[in-house]
Amino acid sequence: MSFLEVFQYTKQDSVIHQLDPRSKMVLAITSAAISLMFLNIVPLLIILLCQIPILFLAKSVRRWLRSMKGLSFLLIFIIVFNTLLSTVANPFSYSVALTIRLIALMTSFSIFFLTVHPDELSQAMIQMRIRFEFAFAMSMAMRYVPTLAHEAYSIMDAQKARGVELDKGNLLKRIRNMIPIIVPLIIVSIRRALSVAESMESRAFGVSQNRTYLKRLEFQRRDWIVAFFSIAVLLYLIYFLSFFGLPDWMLWGFSF
Amino acid sequence: MPLIEFADFSFKYVGADSLALKRINLTINEGEYVVITGPSGCGKTTLCRAINGLVPHFHRGYIGGNVIIDGINTRTSSVANLSSIAGMVFQNPSNQLVTLNVERELAFGPENLGVDPAEITNRINEIVELLFLENLLEKHPHEMSGGEQQRVALAATLAMKPQILVADEPTSNLDPKNAEHILEIISSLNKRGMTVVLIEHRLDLVAQDATRIVLMNAGRIVADGKPREILVDDICQEIGVGIPKATQVYKGLKKRGIQLPSVPLSGEELAYIVQEAVLK
Amino acid sequence: MIKIEDIHFKYEGVYTALRGVSIQIDQGERVAIVGTNGAGKTTLVKHMNGLLRPQRGHVFLKDRDTKHMSVAEIARTVGLVFQSPDHQLFLDSVEKEVVFGLRNLGYSAKEAEERCHNTLSRLGLEGFADRSPFTLSGGERKRVALASVLATEPKVLALDEPTIGQDAKQKKLLAELLSEMNDAGCTVVVVTHDIEFVVEFFPRTVAMSGGLIVGDGKTESLLSNEAIIDLSSLSAPQTTLAASALRKKFPEVSNRITSVSDLEEIIVRLVGGL
């Protein structure tokens, strides 16, 4: 699952990290939209080349490369299968373009998720008028998923010590063997949820209509610049494509 | 005026067969440090929950009598309303940390109450200094030890500026050194004027700091008084409450006809009392 | 019974939990393992029953290297009681819960039932046989989890923090039970922070710190060693503190006093000596 790393927040001190999550959201959506507008190798490569400096600014190139390496098998698989099964004129060329588009799309969103702390994300959602309880539920999920994972391991240990052999037997037996893991996990989670709720209730969760926020996000000049620039590029490309179309050199592809 | 007042208070949880609390009468004044103890299932946790309104507003059930906290009847007030009067710290530290870093955690309670951000910042600075949290501020709950987590949970409760601190076995998941540290903090809060109600099994750790011990058994208060009076009472053994070793020695000596002049609660005290007695 | 030779263990990507631990535990011993959180105590115990395998070194059980034994196989000899009973209880009656473990280890239905019955009555849980574990209190659930391990009559019983959340009475019951098992020849190993529990019931103590064993010996001498107490994040028992404070004035007081009755004896002598 190492490719998921590229969607996981990493603490860094970078210009991109300092941007407001909302401007980064605009950046991610516009760059994803732009990648979706093309299906030729050359323009998609240009898009990807434009994204790499942003990764550089976010000090995350190495992480990105590692994830791409983890994904390489899947990407090659997509190219091979598409080439074999596709009915378009130049299937290989088409598959390569498709794969670059996938990478560009992933990169667009990874720039967002790599650099936005979950707390900032929920704060951004709240300021975009999403209910606090909902946004908070999301950040709590982030908080407790690792705890639950840890608990699942402890449960597996406890059952193994009682002679449950998790990786033995046929499929049916293996599924049956999951019951001693899943039942305690559910019960432990319910107990935990109750105890968490009790503690949150004791700290006045969800009562005040006028909840305050220690840190409010503020759109700064650099955020306006990023948002404005992203939208401008998108609009220009739409205008250009619909009136002029792509120049010939951009249409280049393999002849198979 | 008493800060906490239980008047003939009884409580039965929904679905339970018997009463968890039976006609409790208890008055606690400002500045006291009350340790509540008793065997498992004696009702001490329910008693604490009744102080900040978790009983009956979060844990539902049947009530008799009243609990008055700082002049407010808990029947008619919400937990949230009571949260800035009585702050609660629980057993399991990780279940009390609900955000992704310590600074947010400390802000969580005051934010919920709608406290002004500038004031929240002030409170955070104050508490960080008081509980030595400087180098934890940016940390994720997973990056902290159990002792650190519990310190943060305590701090997060204090950020709501309660008059009363209610702690339900806050040290039972911690190792002895961390437990002592948390109890030192609680004791120093009490010395600064905060009223403390603490549930604790290990009386050897708290008997010296407490101003009062309340013993409970089967939903009732069976003894209530100064530590040195309560701990020598045979009722402790009868209901199965462990007393400090030093006090045990005092009682053992008494049985053998040696009466020490005062009741020791710690090893050092015992040594001192014996020395004085021998040298006299 | 158990012989551990220079084992090393490192959790994936996290930290080194054991860096060269050797220990031998003989049949019928009672051993307490103490130390700070993260000292490697639980990791060591998990090596004893095969849940973890040493990355270097060997674990021998009755002179047999456990390398080629499965956890289920080791479980017949080494029973491990975990800190949280909630991690193992999943069936809707106490009886089924106890029978489940026995059946896994290969006992026939009839024998499992018999053993279950015996164990429950031994632990004073007869009345609970048909109850669902989820309706029991924390202390009771802990006893059910213990019952499910005891029923298999392991040669070695290892317990991880058995006294957490237990009151004085429950602790006493547990201690009595462990003594009884021990008298019957069972080796008892316990991981704990509860120093009073150690002092009263465990003649041998092993202190761990930073993945190493830093002390191994008689409980009374180990726990009067301040350096060891400090390293393992323990607090010295009140009796030891009293004894060492008394020794400053009365040099005849031995520095190895850990039990209440020893201390009483000393004081009687001091006071009576007037």
Domain ranges of chain A: 2-116+219-251, 131-201
pLDDT 10s digits, C97-150 = 999 999 988 899 999 999 999 999 888 888 899 999 988 888 889 989 999 999
CB contact under 8 A, A158 and C72: no
Residue A213: its chain B contacts at CB < 8 A? 111, 117
| Residue numbers in A near C75 (CB within 8 A) | 161-163
Q: Is the model's pLDDT at C274 over the cut of 70?
A: no
> What is the reported pLDDT for C169?
83
SS3 C30: strand
| Domains, in order of start, for chain B | 1-85+165-176+185-234 (3.40.50.300), 95-161 (no CATH), 244-280 (no CATH)
Query: Whole-angstrom Cα distance, residue C159 to residue B156?
Result: 34
Q: What tokens appear for A20 in the block?
A: 């407001």
**Does some domain include residue C114?**
yes
Q: In a mutagenesis test of the B interface, which of A147, A214, A218 is the best target, namely the one with the most B β-carbons within 10 Å?
A: A214
Task: Give the chain B residue whose CA is nearest to the CA of A209.
Answer: B114
Residue A1 has pLDDT above 80, yes or no: no
Q: Say yes or no: C72 contacts chain A, CB-CB below 8 A.
A: yes
Question: Smallest CA–CA separation between A162 and chain C, in Å?
Answer: 5
Chain C neighbors of B177, CB-CB under 8 A: 36, 233-235
Last residue of a domain, one of C153, C170, C201: C153
Asked if the C-beta of B16 comes within 8 angstroms of chain A's C-beta atoms, the answer is: no
| C170 and C223 fall within a common domain | yes
State whether A158 and C75 contact (CB < 8 Å): no
For C157-180, how does the pLDDT look when each residue is reduced to its tens digit (9 = 90+)? 999 999 887 888 888 889 998 999
Q: Residue C214 domain-assigned?
A: yes
- CA B70/CA B83 separation, integer angstroms: 12
The shortest C-alpha distance from B224 to chain A (Å) reads: 27
H-helix or E-strand spanning residue B36: strand B33-37
If asked whether residues C67 and C95 sit together in one domain, one would say no
User: Looking at chain A, which subunits does it touch, using at least 3 CB pairs closer than 8 Å as the criterion?
Assistant: B, C
Q: pLDDT (tens digit, 9 = 90+) per residue, A199-245?
A: 999 999 988 778 899 988 988 999 999 999 999 999 999 999 999 88
Distance (Å, rounded) from C-alpha B111 to C-alpha A206? 10
Alpha helices, DSSP H, located in chain C: 41-48, 71-75, 94-104, 109-122, 138-150, 168-183, 195-201, 219-222, 226-231, 238-249, 260-272
Judging contacts by C-beta atoms under 8 Å, the chain C residues touching residue A162 are: 75, 88, 100-101, 104, 148-149
pLDDT at B59: 94
Domain count of the fold of chain C: 3
First to last CA, chain A: 33
C147 and C162 within one domain? no
- The tens place of each residue's pLDDT in chain B, 280 residues long, gives 799 999 999 999 998 889 999 999 999 999 999 999 999 889 999 999 999 999 999 999 999 999 999 999 999 999 988 999 999 999 999 999 999 989 999 999 999 999 999 999 999 999 999 999 999 998 888 889 899 999 999 999 999 999 999 999 999 888 888 899 999 999 999 999 999 999 998 899 999 999 999 999 999 999 999 999 999 999 999 998 999 999 999 999 999 989 999 999 999 999 999 998 888 7
Q: Give the domain-ending residue among C108, C128, C153.
A: C153
Please give the Cα distance from C190 to C166 (Å, whole number).
15
Residue C226's pLDDT band (cuts 50, 70, 90): confident
- Are C161 and C226 found together in one domain? yes
Is residue B170 less than 8 Å (CB to CB) from chain A? no
Same domain, C137 and C167: no
Q: Are residues C243 and C138 in the same domain?
A: no
Q: Which residues of chain A make contact with B157, given a CB cutoff of 8 A?
A: 202-203
Domain co-membership, C99 together with C130: yes
Tell me whether C137 touches chain A (CB under 8 Å).
no
Rg for chain A, CA atoms, rounded: 24
Helix (H, G, I), strand (E, B) or coil at B165: strand
B268 touching C, CB under 8 A?
Answer: yes
User: Rounded CA gap, A35 and A72, in Å?
Assistant: 20
Residue A146, pLDDT > 60, answer yes
- CB pairs A-B closer than 8 Å: 98
Interface of B with C in 204-243 (CB under 8 A): 204, 240-242
Indicate which of C264, C268, C270, C274 best probes the interface with B, i.e. most B CBs within 10 Å of its own CB. Answer: C264
Answer yes or no: are the C-beta atoms of B278 and C253 closer than 8 Å: no
Residue C153 at interface with chain A, using a CB cutoff of 8 Å: no
Measure CB to CB from residue A139 to each of B52, B100, B103 and give the nearest one: B100
pTM of the predicted model as reported, rounded to 2 decimal places:
0.89
Show residues of chain C in contact with A166, CB under 8 Å: none
- The answer to whether residues C147 and C158 belong to one domain is no
Q: Report if residue C86 sits inside a domain.
A: no
Which residue of chain A has the CA closest to B153? A199
Q: Which domain holds residue C169?
A: 1-77+154-230
Do residues B266 and B244 make contact, with C-beta atoms less than 8 angstroms apart? yes
Residue C185 lies in a domain: yes
| DSSP reduced 3-state for A64 | helix
At A88 the three-state DSSP class reads: coil
